[in-house]
């Protein structure tokens, strides 16, 4: 275990440290090196492994081999397009090693990792050091150690930030589309009329409906926690899956996330037996989050069972629920919009650790951290991509979300600012995409005044 040396007065010729040769770290290192700066890229594998990586390769894809949809009319397709406009190493390598996958971009994972590795081994400005990093460097540096950041570095973060600011688990509640809800079966209200009194959508359940819902939960098929996720179950107590709560007692949910206190159903004039609350999830109010409904049910069971909730009979899921091991920081509290830590200016975080979710999003944040670190190291002013671009929308999510409810997110159009004019649903993706690519070009020109990407 080695601590990388700290230095007080970094000069422009000193190498910039990038920690973690995953998707984000590789993308960040590439941006720095291509801008003419030398880079020391630290990777702890193979000396120390994570519970899921199986190789010592660069940018290893730990699970699926898909980088998801490839049409610019969907948000992740747009993000990939934007990355390509900025010279993404990850997307270029993915295209070079793509396998047939319909409308998605999927890769041969071995060739993909090798392709990224080849680019590094032949780059004169990149040196790779195989060692675990346990402290923070003082000069401009990028930490991208991912959802399975090593325990020693995790402890360093915890010492700097405190327990509350760093999460071990990702508890994702399902998100549903507004226009798929049966609104006359729901009522708007906040518990005890807090906030503006009508912040939530509430799905009321009578006793019979609640009991049937609990029966379904108890019998439903689940995804097992992986071995390494079971190692410290104490972390689960704060974010128990709803099916585990139901197991602890038939009324546990009624006293937990489904509690009806402080709510009166206008249809009956009385308090329901239980409620499912939906909280607005995006600025445009197109998406709503099922509050406290993190779950390990299989996706098909979630779809089947949640459609038994009144008002959700025809619901369209924007995201399904999950819980998995994931180290990430409370970005809205700790990061500025250039991805630097407020407590350690010059230290950029990227990838899943910074609070995004997914291969493409992680690589995108690595790319942006790389660009920003170049600007900082060369004494330029850092400019942030506009919020109506996919890059800007992710940064907006990281820095402007409500800290108390912050959860990592995949890119989706719900993170973008509301549209300023009415556009048919089927045309919205293309409209947003065209607008985003124009804005990104303008931003790129601004950034290019300072340095060449």
Ligand X SMILES: Cc1cc2nc3c(=O)[nH]c(=O)nc-3n(C[C@H](O)[C@H](O)[C@H](O)COP(=O)(O)OP(=O)(O)OC[C@H]3O[C@@H](n4cnc5c(N)ncnc54)[C@H](O)[C@@H]3O)c2cc1C
Would you call 201 exposed, middle or buried from its count of C-beta atoms within 10 A (0-12, 13-18, 19+)? buried
Q: How many CB atoms lie within 10 A of CB 233?
A: 9
44 binds ligand X (CB under 6 A): yes
Q: Which stretch binds ligand X (CB under 6 A): 141-149, 171-179, 196-204, 252-260?
A: 141-149
Placement of tokens 């629920």 in the chain:
321
Name the residue nearer to ligand X (CB basis): 170 or 265.
170
Q: Which stretch binds ligand X (CB under 6 A): 119-127, 145-153, 253-261, 399-407?
A: 145-153
The Cα 383–Cα 111 span in angstroms is 35
CA-derived radius of gyration, the chain: 23
362 binds ligand X (CB under 6 A): yes
Name the residue nearer to ligand X (CB basis): 58 or 306.
58
Dihedral sign for Cα atoms in the order 227, 229, 233, 236: negative
* Alpha-carbon torsion, ordered 209, 210, 213, 215, to 10 deg: -110
**DSSP 8-state assignment for residue 270:** B
Quick check: 45 and 385 in contact, CB under 8 A?
no
Name the residue nearer to ligand X (CB basis): 47 or 262.
47
Site string for ligand X, 277-316 (x = CB under 6 A): ----------------------------------------
408 binds ligand X (CB under 6 A): no
**What token pair was written down for 321?**
């629920």
Which residues have C-beta within 8 Å of that of residue 255, sequence separation ≥ 6? none
Question: At closest approach, how far in Å is the CB of 394 from ligand X?
Answer: 13
**Residue ranges in 141-275 assigned as alpha helix (H):** 151-161, 207-219, 242-248
80 binds ligand X (CB under 6 A): no
Question: At closest approach, how far in Å is the CB of 430 from ligand X?
Answer: 24
169 binds ligand X (CB under 6 A): no
The Cα 441–Cα 228 span in angstroms is 43
Q: Which stretch binds ligand X (CB under 6 A): 23-31, 172-180, 260-268, 280-288?
A: 23-31
Question: At closest approach, how far in Å is the CB of 148 from ligand X?
Answer: 6
How are strands ordered across the β-sheet holding 98-99? 66-69, 104-107, 98-99
170 binds ligand X (CB under 6 A): no
Peptide bond into 76 cis (omega under 30): no
Selected binder of ligand X within 40, 45, 396, 432 (CB under 6 A): 45
Question: At closest approach, how far in Å is the CB of 112 from ligand X?
Answer: 12
Question: At closest approach, how far in Å is the CB of 447 from ligand X?
Answer: 23
Q: Which stretch binds ligand X (CB under 6 A): 61-69, 209-217, 274-282, 328-336?
A: 61-69
**What token pair was written down for 57?**
């390769």
359 binds ligand X (CB under 6 A): yes
Name the residue nearer to ligand X (CB basis): 154 or 380.
154
**What token pair was written down for 59?**
């940018």
* Number of shown-chain residues binding ligand X (CB under 6 A): 34
Task: Kindly list the residues in this chain that would bind ligand X in the complex (CB under 6 A).
Answer: 19-25, 42-45, 50, 52-53, 62-64, 132-133, 144-150, 153, 325, 351-353, 358-359, 362
């Amino acid at each position: 275990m080695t601590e990388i040396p700290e230095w007080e007065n970094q000069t422009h010729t000193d190498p910039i440290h990038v920690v973690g040769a995953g998707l984000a770290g590789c993308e960040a290192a590439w941006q720095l090196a291509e801008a003419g700066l030398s880079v020391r890229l630290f990777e702890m594998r193979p000396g120390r492994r994570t519970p899921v990586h199986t190789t010592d390769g660069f940018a290893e894809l730990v699970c699926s081999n898909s980088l998801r949809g490839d049409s610019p009319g969907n948000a992740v397709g747009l993000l990939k397009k934007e990355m390509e406009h900025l010279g993404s190493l990850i997307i270029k390598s993915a295209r070079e090693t793509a396998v047939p996958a319909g409308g998605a971009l999927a890769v041969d994972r071995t060739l993909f990792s090798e392709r990224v590795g080849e680019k590094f081994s032949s780059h004169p400005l990149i040196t790779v050091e195989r060692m675990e990093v346990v402290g923070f460097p003082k000069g401009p540096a990028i930490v991208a150690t991912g959802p399975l950041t090593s325990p020693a570095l995790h402890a360093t973060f915890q010492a700097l930030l405190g327990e509350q600011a760093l999460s071990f688990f990702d508890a994702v509640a399902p998100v549903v589309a507004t226009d798929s809800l049966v609104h006359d079966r729901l009522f708007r209200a906040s518990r005890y009329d807090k906030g503006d009194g009508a912040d939530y959508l509430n799905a009321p359940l009578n006793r019979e409906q609640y009991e049937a819902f609990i029966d379904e939960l108890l019998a439903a098929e689940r995804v097992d926690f992986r071995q390494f996720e079971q190692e410290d179950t104490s972390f689960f107590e704060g974010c128990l899956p709803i099916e585990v709560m139901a197991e602890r007692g038939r009324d546990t949910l009624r006293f937990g996330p489904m509690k009806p206190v402080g709510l009166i159903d206008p249809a009956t004039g009385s308090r329901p037996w239980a409620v499912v609350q939906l909280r607005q999830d995006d600025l445009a109010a197109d998406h709503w989050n099922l509050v406290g409904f993190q779950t390990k049910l299989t996706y098909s069971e979630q779809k089947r069972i949640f459609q038994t909730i009144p008002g959700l009979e025809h619901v369209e899921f924007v995201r399904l629920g999950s819980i998995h091991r994931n180290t990430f920081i409370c970005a809205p509290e700790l990061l500025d919009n250039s991805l630097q830590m407020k407590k350690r200016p010059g230290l950029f975080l990227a990838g899943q650790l910074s609070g995004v979710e997914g291969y493409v999003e992680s690589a995108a944040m690595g790319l942006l951290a790389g660009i920003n670190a170049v600007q900082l190291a060369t004494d330029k002013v850092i400019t942030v991509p506009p919020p109506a671009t996919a890059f800007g929308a992710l940064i907006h999510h990281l820095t402007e979300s409500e800290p108390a409810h912050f959860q990592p997110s995949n890119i989706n159009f719900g993170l973008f600012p509301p549209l300023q004019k009415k556009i048919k649903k089927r045309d919205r993706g293309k409209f947003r995409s065209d607008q985003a690519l124009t804005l990104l070009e303008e931003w790129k020109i601004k950034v290019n005044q300072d340095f060449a990407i």
